[in-house]
């Protein structure tokens, strides 16, 4: 009986967790939605702008949308500092995007990653994390994982 009750509790709590993430994703103008709702502070360090207190979106950081259509967007902060976003796949659980960045100078190089964007609530921002899912149309380009690694312990 205890086992049955435990299984029922886990089943109900899983359903409640899924019900809490019922934020709708748009069917049209998805790239525009991503540009407006993306919390850029969750982008990989090589792609995102330098963190500034109180700023979260491309608009907050002064990025201008240079090009946007149904599945692609290009935003720019200054000439040469661009972030491109391409919608790869949309599921009920989130939106897979290909995000790329061209640095202000050639030494920064080109970075490209597949990210999964999730919306916790309809009035919130999209949070990103690197995806383990791969897409042939968005190969991993540039950068290293060292920038995300924790600093070595001094002990």
Establish if 80 belongs to a structural domain. yes
Establish if 92 belongs to a structural domain. yes
Tell how many helices (H) and how many strands (E) occur in the chain. 2, 6
Strand partners, 82: 76, 102
Count structural domains, the chain. Answer: 1
CA 148/CA 138 separation, integer angstroms: 20
Least confident of 11-20, 52-61, 105-114: 11-20
Establish if 154 belongs to a structural domain. no
Establish if 90 belongs to a structural domain. yes
The pLDDT tens digits for 38-95 are 999 999 988 888 899 999 999 999 999 999 999 999 999 876 678 999 999 999 889 9
3-state secondary structure of 20: helix
Establish if 6 belongs to a structural domain. no
Q: What residues make up the domain containing 102?
A: 23-143
CB burial readout 85-119, b (16+ within 10 A) else e: bbbbebeeebbbbbbbbbbeeeeeeebbbbbbbbb
Establish if 34 belongs to a structural domain. yes
Q: Report how far apart, in Å, the C-alpha atoms of 65 and of each of 38, 110, 131 are.
A: 13, 19, 25
User: How much is the mean pLDDT over the chain?
Assistant: 78
Q: 71 with 134: CB under 8 angstroms?
A: no
Establish if 33 belongs to a structural domain. yes
Task: Give me the mean pLDDT over the 29-34 stretch.
Answer: 94
Residues 6+ apart with CB under 8 A from 125: 37, 38, 39, 56, 57, 119
Establish if 150 belongs to a structural domain. no
């Amino acid at each position: 009986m205890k086992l049955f009750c435990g299984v029922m509790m886990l089943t109900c709590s899983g359903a409640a967790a899924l019900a809490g993430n019922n934020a709708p994703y748009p069917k049209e103008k998805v790239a525009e939605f991503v540009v407006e709702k993306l919390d850029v502070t969750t982008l990989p360090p090589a792609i995102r702008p330098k963190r500034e207190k109180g700023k979260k979106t491309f608009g907050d950081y002064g990025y201008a949308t240079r090009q946007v259509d149904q599945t692609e967007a290009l935003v720019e902060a200054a000439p040469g500092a661009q972030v491109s976003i391409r919608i790869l796949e949309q599921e009920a659980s989130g939106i897979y995007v290909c995000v790329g960045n061209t640095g202000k100078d050639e030494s920064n190089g080109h970075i490209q990653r597949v990210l999964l964007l999730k919306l916790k609530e309809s009035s919130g921002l999209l949070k990103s994390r690197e995806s383990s899912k791969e897409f042939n149309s968005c190969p991993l380009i540039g950068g290293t994982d060292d920038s995300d690694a924790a600093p070595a312990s001094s002990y």
